[in-house]
Amino acid sequence: MGLRFTLSVLDRFARLGRGTGTYTDYTPWHRVSRADPSSRGRSHLLKWGDRHRELLSDLELVAFFFSTMHPDVTDIREQFPLSIEYRGHELNKYQVGYADLDFPGTLEICKQLDVKHPVVYGSPGVSAEWVMTTDLLLTLKDAHGKWSLLAVSVKPSLPTEGSRSWQLLNIEREYWQRRRVCWLLITPDQYDALVADALKGTFSWAWSETCDQALLNWLTEHELEFDGANLTKILRYAASEGNDREGIRTALWHGIWKGKLLFDLRRGWRPSDPFIRVTSEEFLAHNPIVSGRSAWKV
């Protein structure tokens, strides 16, 4: 029998500082670990931004890929715990004094919505409030230095309105709305499966720390020439100019993920697939998180 959530497990999470910190010092509330109750589906452990990211499903993995492509993202905290009680704004960790008041926790929000707060049970007759989490919490800083948060929940589908699953999502949504934080519900209906496949196949190049900026500049200068060409042709042309093939591959996908090379992500990622240029608006529309697309319509 596998591990299950109990009061002692949640107490251990709190003692270990789960769900606290920022950037490299952040520790997710739920982790990919043998000491944690397992998640449904496959989990993933990938390094991004000098920290291993712990993603509990294939859907979270895709949402995380989309999140890293946001032009203003500075930090991503996965499996972020929602406060049960009143607490200061989560942006205070980045911008001291952002808000001098406390915001309602999930317990108060449940009271206002007239729904039961989720609980976890210990020994017979003993229970405690369950700590709810948001799958991904993005910290954004725009070109003018303005900070903001973007909360993302990932589900296989939109639950039936009024169901318990729907209630729990509504609690999470209300939690972030009270803090004036945009909350998105991402399901597979919000993105093209071909785009997701392209991201899965190219993230290792896009995230590479060895991207040559000079090569990326060279690619952007020749972007129009590559419209309709496949990767094999681009690599052959790049090599004739004295460039390294693997370096070009890395710079190419780095540039596409950063939105510096506006190619259609639905093209696939195989060397034989042609690169097709798109407008900036069309490129951004590939990404539900950047474009603010959500399954929640209420």
Tell me the domain boundaries of the chain: 7-190, 193-286
Structure tokens at 254: 């780095």
State pLDDT tens for residues 69-97: 999 999 999 999 999 999 999 999 998 77
d(CA 55, CA 44): 5
The larger pLDDT score, comparing residue 170 to residue 238, is at 170
Q: Out of 35-39, 128-132, 216-220, which region has the weakest mean confidence (pLDDT)?
A: 35-39
| pTM of the entire predicted model | 0.92
- Of 131, 103, 133, 129, the closest CA to residue 116 belongs to 129
* Residue 151 CA to its chain's centroid (Å): 9
**What pLDDT is recorded for position 67?**
98
Residue 222 to residue 19: CA distance in whole angstroms: 45
pLDDT band at 8 (very low <50, low <70, confident <90, very high): confident
Residue 131: HSE in the Cβ half-sphere, 13 Å Cα cutoff: 20
- What count of residues does the chain have? 298
pLDDT value for 36 = 66
> How many angstroms from the chain centroid is the CA of residue 223?
29
- Residue 253 reports pLDDT greater than 70: yes
Q: What is the pLDDT of residue 41?
A: 63
pLDDT for the residue 38: 59
| Axis-axis angle for helices 245-257, 193-206 (nearest 10) | 130
pLDDT of residue 244: 79
- Binning the chain into helix, strand and coil, the percentages to the nearest 5 are 40, 20, 45
* Helix residue ranges per DSSP H, the chain: 7-15, 58-68, 106-113, 164-178, 193-206, 213-221, 231-240, 245-257, 280-285, 288-291
State the pLDDT at residue 269: 77
pLDDT at 240 (0 to 100): 79
pLDDT band per the 50, 70, 90 thresholds, residue 245: confident
Q: Which residue has the higher pLDDT, 39 or 232?
A: 232
Instruction: With cut-offs at 50, 70 and 90, classify the pLDDT of residue 2.
Output: very low
Backbone φ and ψ of 292, nearest 5°: 75, 30
Q: What is the tens place of the pLDDT at every residue in 130-180?
A: 999 999 999 999 999 999 999 999 999 999 999 999 999 999 999 999 999
Residue with tokens 């989490």: 133
Q: Is the pLDDT of residue 39 over 70?
A: no
* Check whether domain 7-190 has CATH 3.30.230.10, yes or no: no
Read off the pLDDT of each residue in 88-107 and give the average, rounded to a whole number. 88
What is the chain's alpha carbon radius of gyration, rounded to the nearest angstrom?
A: 21
How confident is the model at residue 1, as a pLDDT? Answer: 35
Percentage of the chain exceeding pLDDT 90: 65
pLDDT for 189 beyond 60: yes
Q: Are 278 and 237 in contact (CB under 8 A)?
A: no
What local confidence, expressed as pLDDT, does residue 235 receive?
A: 82
| Residue-averaged pLDDT of the chain | 90
